[in-house]
């Protein structure tokens, strides 16, 4: 029997990754991707978003995907829910985790949702209350918590204003999201310490993008400060539709490699994950993915 995982990887590729692809991936192919991710040992996966197909056509098959997604003991699926209409779909999907996103940046929230932060939180409050009553776990993202493409650097004090509102709304888990990938290790350390002062550290997560190649350094600082849940996307898939210049999420392979090489168990089979990313790159997306560890390991395999 393998060593019990010491950290949790929250895989966002099927939602946050595929929603940024120019071409829509077939539902049956998404289901196959889920099978592969589960076989590699990933147990927390963000499946899709119950958002209007008008805004994100790549996720128009959310209801169909939920019906065909493989259900396995110990595997927890989440779906993003932006509003009351989305919750009606979520409620029939029999998923355990509801994800919700609000930007710390007012401008980014307007670009993303056409409403202020206060308006967005006020509109979602009754949805959150109903979800809690229905037994759903609330995973809430504080997006752009380190920087915004329109407003520039976001202070820890500004980010904490939103974090406190998410706590008051009943968040079970809060993901501190550097959506633009601009954070520095010092900024992440300050933010994590501030958030951990008002919310249990074991219920905090980090969602990092790798625009400037600092995601792994920022992740390591988060681990040093006590974070044990880290979002990642296979192959470094993703981006942010309303954050010009943002690159993909930190690659799941990079995160697994970092922890395993440091003697920290993840419960994820890196070899199986690399095979899955190679399959996705070559047979499905037909484009090169940016993950550093994946690139290195895949090159060795293809050259052997």
Q: How far apart are CA 86 and CA 95, in angstroms?
A: 13
Tell me the sheet residues that pair with 44. 10, 76
Catalytic residue among 145, 146, 148, 240: 240
| Residues constituting the chain | 304
DSSP 145: S
Q: Could you tell me which of 298, 223, 230 has the C-alpha nearest to residue 267?
A: 230
Q: How many CA atoms lie within 13 A of 139 on its CB side?
A: 27
CA distances in angstroms from 291 to 9, 13, 54, 237, 286, listed in the order given: 16, 12, 30, 8, 15
Give the C-alpha separation, 100 to 114, whole Å.
Answer: 16
Residue 145 annotated among the catalytic residues of the structure? no
- What is the Cα–Cα distance from 37 to 12, expressed in whole angstroms? 11
Q: Tell me the catalytic residues.
A: 240
């Amino acid at each position: 029997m393998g060593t019990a995982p010491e950290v949790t990887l929250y895989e966002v590729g099927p939602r946050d990754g595929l929603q940024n692809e120019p071409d829509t991936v077939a539902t049956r192919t998404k289901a196959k991707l889920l099978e592969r991710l589960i076989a590699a040992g990933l147990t927390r996966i963000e499946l899709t978003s119950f958002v209007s197909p008008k805004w994100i056509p790549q996720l128009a098959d959310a209801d169909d995907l939920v019906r065909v997604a493989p259900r396995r003991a110990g595997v927890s699926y989440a779906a993003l829910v932006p509003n009351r209409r989305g919750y009606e779909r979520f409620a029939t999907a029999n998923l355990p985790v509801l994800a919700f996103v609000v930007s710390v940046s007012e401008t980014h929230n307007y670009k993303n949702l056409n409403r202020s932060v206060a308006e967005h939180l006020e509109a979602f409050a009754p949805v959150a209350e109903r979800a809690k009553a229905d037994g759903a776990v609330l995973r809430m993202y504080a997006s752009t918590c380190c920087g915004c493409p329109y407003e520039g650097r976001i202070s820890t004090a500004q980010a904490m204003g939103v974090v406190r509102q998410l706590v008051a709304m009943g968040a079970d888990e809060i993901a501190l999201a550097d959506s633009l990938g601009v954070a520095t290790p010092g900024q992440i350390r300050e933010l994590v310490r501030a958030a951990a002062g008002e919310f249990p550290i074991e219920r905090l997560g980090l969602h990092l993008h790798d625009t400037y190649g600092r995601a792994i350094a920022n992740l390591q600082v988060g681990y040093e400060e006590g974070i044990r849940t880290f979002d990642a996307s296979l192959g470094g898939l993703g981006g942010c539709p309303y954050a010009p210049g943002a690159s993909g999420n930190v690659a799941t392979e990079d995160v697994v490699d970092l922890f395993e090489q440091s003697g920290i168990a993840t419960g994820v089979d890196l070899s199986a994950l690399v095979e899955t990313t190679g399959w996705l790159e070559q047979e499905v997306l037909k484009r090169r993915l940016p993950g550093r560890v994946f690139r290195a390991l895949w090159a060795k395999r293809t050259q052997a």
